[in-house]
Structures are given as structure tokens and as C-alpha cells.
Amino acid sequence: MIDASHPIHCPECASTLTWRDGLRKTELGAIQRWICRKCGYRFSKSNLNNKNKLNYISKRRVCVSENEMRNLAAPESRMEETGAGDHTKDVKGKIVEFLWWMKKEGYRPSTIESRVKMIRTLFDRGADLFYPEKVKEVIAEQETWNDSTKAKVVDDYSCFITMLGLVWKAPKYRRCERLPFIPLESELDQLIAGCGRRVAAFLQGLKETGADPGELWRVEWTDVDVEKRVLTLNHPVKGHSPRSLPISASWISMVERLPRNGKRIFTSTQDSLSANFRCQRRRLECKLGNPRLGKVCFTTFRHWKGTMEYHRTGDAYHVKKILGHKSLKNTEIYIHLEEAVFQASNEEFHVKVAESVDEARALLESGFEYVGRIHEAEMFRKRK
């Protein structure tokens, strides 16, 4: 045991900045060795002398290189410098405080997660979160971020600044509006068929309902009405309304084959589900030789559903109800998408003939549109 009233002093420079440096075996037993962090001198304390005396047996001077001295002094430097270590702890503590502050202010969990993630990204990329001008420099240096991403970062940091009680002059970045990519239905079906059963069930649900990925991910087993074939979205994302949507028997069959490991149907995290899909999408893109598949993401299914529903009905209010928009302004994009997609197409259709009521019902359920009657046959079509 070390007597706290008699700290170990270096016999060379009298410094108390000493570390244990192993034991030295002698005829009289093991003797503790020490090394001075200030001068690098290595020495031993005698076991033969009185405990109240500090006598040392100095055997040799240790030659310590510049790098070793720097390593020895590193802990001392970190304690003396109030910058790096303490500042990092302060920032991380403020991020946790920011999370709790948003929760108390009533922000949605998805918004909290997104903003905290972006604030951590800024910190990891070298931004000093307590100095807005430094944050501006880091945002401006990100060449891989477009103006829409930078505008979102500015909004997230503005929220963080509000929590700190500071004021800053936010840089002006304008969001770039672009029409989303609308694939062919056959390309969506290729992705569904080529993915594993869990991802395939998730993709099929996105295709049939047009739900936001976050909404479908939160669906519970009790939200599926098997008899009426209706799916209830009781956990809408921000800006959406809860709604009930029709589903097919095939999707119900796909879901029922999944293991029931909890209340929710899709128990894995959204990030892992998305990463799994990207991996399988990349494999199918190479296997089928179709680079367009690489442009498909989860929200692409929603855009495709909105475009097809407006083309089928021509009713923007119907599309608004299906997609759960609270404002018709958000639905207007699908009017422009429908015009852009189908004016550029060659108006090619799959044509089917139904000779019975059951055949007609099956065609309507699979997305075919009724055209008319020719003699005793009912004609249906669906765009390729």
C-alpha cells in the first residue's frame, strides 16, 4: 500500500508524477519499480528502510525516446488542456440534453432521431457545435451534400441553437425540387420476387398500400383484418393521417409466413431492413443487368402507387386519401408525375378477356381496368 502522506518522489527531479513500472526481483524479495513521467528516470524504493523514510535505490537512468515521453505525458496533457477531452464530453452531454429537450417539447420520435443523428454527423465532421460560424464552415465544405441536404442540416442545427438559447444567422440554402423516379411495375415485381421473404413482404405491402416506410414498419399484427382484407395504419408519420387500406390475399399469405416475435410484424430496425434491401437490390441489379433497379428505394413504391392511382381514377382527392396527405398540395406532385410518365409512354397495355364474374373480379383485384364488352366477353387492360 502507498502512504498518501508520503507520495513517491523522483530522486532525479523530485517530481511526484510517477507511475508503477513492474516489480524487480532481488535476494530480499520483489521490489516495486517506478518511472518518472517528467524526466523518464526509473528507480526503486528500498524495502529495508523505515516506512517513514523515502530512501531510493537508483540502479540506472532509462533512455526514453521523444515519442515515449509524449505518450507518458499524454494523460497529463489531457488533464491540463481543458479543450479536447472535456469539450467532447460537454458536446456529447449537450446532444443528450438536446434529445431530452425535444422529447419534452413534443417532437415526434422520428424527428428526434433524425435531428440527433444529423447533429452527431456535424460533430463527427469537425464542427464545433457551440460556435455557429464553425458549423457554417463545415456545412459549406461538404461537397457530397446537395442544397436540399444542407437546408435540412441548417434546420436541425437551428433547433439545437434554440435549445442552447443562442442566436445565429442561418445560411440560405434552397431545396431543389425534383420529380421522383417512377419505375415499371414489372421492375417492382422483379425486386419483390428476388428478395427474401421478410423484405419481399415489406415491399409488397408498400406497393399495395402506398404507405410511408415508417408507417408500414410500425404496423402490428392486430392492425391486419384477415377477413375483410383491410390494413389499418394507426401510426402515421408526421404530416399523414391514420387510414384503412385494402390489401390482397397474397400479401396476407406472405405476412402470415413470417415469424411472430413481437407485437409488430416487422421486428427488425428500419436501418437493418433498409440495408438488407440495398444489398439484395444490388445483387438483382447485377444479375438482371438492369441499372434502373438501383434507383428504386422504399419511397419509390409510394410514388409509384400515387402516380398509378391518379392515372386510374383522375381524382386527386382519392389519391390524397390513399396516401394519407393532410394537404392536397402534397398530392399535386402526382398529377405532374402522371403527365410526365404517361405522355412519354407508348400507351402499351396488357389485355385480358373475362368470360365469367370470377375472372372479372380477379382481373380487377390484380389492377386491370375495365374497357367494355365485346359480344359475350368483358375486356380488361393494364399498362405495361
Same domain for 94 and 30 = no
Compute the Cα dihedral for 164, 167, 173, 174 and give only its sign: positive
Domain that holds residue 95: 84-164
Residues 6 or more apart in contact with residue 20 via CB below 8 angstroms:
32, 33, 34
- Number of domains observed in the structure of the chain: 4
Same domain for 376 and 330 = no
Same domain for 323 and 367 = no
DSSP state of 325: B
**Does residue 263 form part of some domain?**
yes
- State residue 321's pLDDT score: 92
Grid coordinates representing 168? 445565429
- State residue 4's pLDDT score: 47
Helix (H, G, I), strand (E, B) or coil at 27: coil
pLDDT mean values, one per 10 residues, the chain (384 residues) = 61 78 78 77 60 41 45 42 54 89 89 91 90 92 91 94 90 84 93 94 96 94 94 90 93 94 91 93 94 95 93 88 90 85 64 83 79 76 70
Same domain for 301 and 206 = yes
- State residue 201's pLDDT score: 96
**Does residue 10 form part of some domain?**
no
Same domain for 149 and 109 = yes
**Does residue 8 form part of some domain?**
no
- State residue 77's pLDDT score: 40
- CA angle 148/152/154 to nearest 5° reads 115
- State residue 344's pLDDT score: 53
**Does residue 145 form part of some domain?**
yes
Same domain for 222 and 293 = yes
Same domain for 240 and 102 = no
Of the chain, the end-to-end C-alpha distance in Å amounts to 84
